[in-house]
Amino acid sequence: MSSYSIALNFEDGVTRFIDCGAHEKVLDAAYRNRINLPMDCSDGVCGTCKCHAESGRYDMGDDYIEDALTQDEADQGLVLTCQMVPQSDCVISVPMPSTACKTGTAKFAAGVADIAAYGDAAYELVLDVPEDAPVFLPGQYVNIGVPGSSEHRSYSFSSAPGDRRMTFLIKQVPGGLMSGWLTGAERGQQLEMTGPLGSFYLRAVQRPLLLLAGGTGLAPFLSMLEVLARQGTDQPVHMIYGVTRDQDLVLVDRLQDYAQRIPAFSFTTCVADPETAHERQGYVTGHMPAQVLHAGNVDVYLCGPPPMVEAVQKHFKAQGLEPASFHYEKFTPNHPSPVHVEAGA
């Protein structure tokens, strides 16, 4: 292979993809792409360019000194980009905002291909992918400008990277700006988009996964599951999908399809409404058996409203459980405020 795709994820959530030659150092490839990663000596001496390799294979050589990168740091996935030569596609976490590296988010426009309404619960927005659309990581989001206004809304991709069309699952909000526009939107209309953004994305699968989705927080998991279906995994993956009302339980057929395509995948659903006709009433924390927690040897991904995030955190604390990693994104219907946290990392 002549080059590899390197995803640089900055601490402000901005992601930039660069091509890195099979024998090229990541720092050099970033500079070639006009991205000024932190550096000082560029000789493996100072440690200024230290980042964290989230996934991928690479060679660090032996031309750096212990003061710049200790063996313990290397064992934890820390790398010196001035010495790192990739041997596969990689995801690298950069401990600086994108602005400090003189780069930023991509801006592009996409046309409406279709809009499907699921009762009064949600819309699925389908957009044609333009040639200049940036690559994204499964789980990330974009800011979408609402036509006729100066405002934008943030939505996670429910489609997988590289798909011919990009899709978004959008909660119907009475009187909501985007909901109102979607009601009368027509095919072909252009939407201005900025992204990809966010540190909530699927990492390399090295242990069991527990996916917790609240309402339209299902969206990023559909992207992740499609990637897992295509690449395969031998780790158990379990999802708990919780909603407020019976009618909010949408796209269950797609989860059933993934259960067929991913042998290790299973899911359960629950509805919080005390008057529900669903077989499982309550919140996700009430339907989380010990076997899906793997005594803490589990990577937890959660996307849902703030009360759900707080309830899961309290549940883990009450159980005395600390997952190997805990990645979450919390949002409100009108103003998503993505937040990413790793516990035990």
Give the residue numbers spanning the domain of 190: 106-197
Check whether residue 169 and residue 264 sit in a common domain. Answer: no
Check whether residue 182 and residue 283 sit in a common domain. Answer: no
Mark which of 56, 86, 101 sits at the end of a domain. Answer: 101
**What pLDDT was estimated at residue 270?**
98
Q: Where are the alpha helices (DSSP H) in 18-154?
A: 26-32, 71-75
Check whether residue 258 and residue 283 sit in a common domain. Answer: yes
Check whether residue 214 and residue 289 sit in a common domain. Answer: yes
Q: How far apart are CA 147 and CA 181, in angstroms?
A: 7
Check whether residue 309 and residue 236 sit in a common domain. Answer: yes
Is residue 64 included in any domain, yes or no? yes
Structural domain total, the chain? 3
**CATH number where 161 lies:** 2.40.30.10
Check whether residue 14 and residue 121 sit in a common domain. Answer: no
Strands 50-55 and 90-94 come out as antiparallel
Check whether residue 192 and residue 230 sit in a common domain. Answer: no
Check whether residue 223 and residue 323 sit in a common domain. Answer: yes
List phi, psi (to 5°) of 306: -50, -45
**What pLDDT was estimated at residue 345?**
35
Is residue 202 included in any domain, yes or no? no
Check whether residue 147 and residue 86 sit in a common domain. Answer: no
Is residue 114 included in any domain, yes or no? yes
Describe the chain by its helix, strand, coil percentages, rounded to 5.
Answer: 25, 35, 45
**CATH number where 250 lies:** 3.40.50.80
Q: How far apart are CA 116 and CA 6, in angstroms?
A: 34
Number of CB atoms found within 10 A of residue 40's CB: 11
Is residue 275 included in any domain, yes or no? yes
Is residue 339 included in any domain, yes or no? no
* Predicted structure pTM score: 0.82
Mark which of 58, 84, 101 sits at the end of a domain. Answer: 101
**CATH number where 88 lies:** 3.10.20.30
Check whether residue 39 and residue 87 sit in a common domain. Answer: yes
pLDDT in tens, the chain (345 residues): 689 999 999 988 899 999 999 999 999 999 999 899 988 888 898 888 999 999 999 999 988 998 889 998 999 999 999 999 999 999 999 998 888 888 878 899 999 999 999 999 999 999 999 888 888 999 999 999 999 999 999 999 999 998 999 999 999 999 999 999 999 899 999 999 998 888 889 998 999 999 999 999 999 999 999 999 999 999 999 999 999 999 999 999 999 999 999 999 999 999 999 999 999 999 999 999 999 999 999 999 999 998 999 999 999 999 999 999 999 987 765 544 444 444 433
Q: Quick one: tokens of 262?
A: 């991913």
Mark which of 82, 101, 120 sits at the end of a domain. Answer: 101
Q: How far apart are CA 59 and CA 87, in angstroms?
A: 7
Check whether residue 180 and residue 222 sit in a common domain. Answer: no
Is residue 342 included in any domain, yes or no? no
Is residue 269 included in any domain, yes or no? yes
Instruction: Please name which of 35, 41, 54 lies closest in space to residue 106, comparing C-alpha atoms.
Output: 35
Check whether residue 129 and residue 50 sit in a common domain. Answer: no
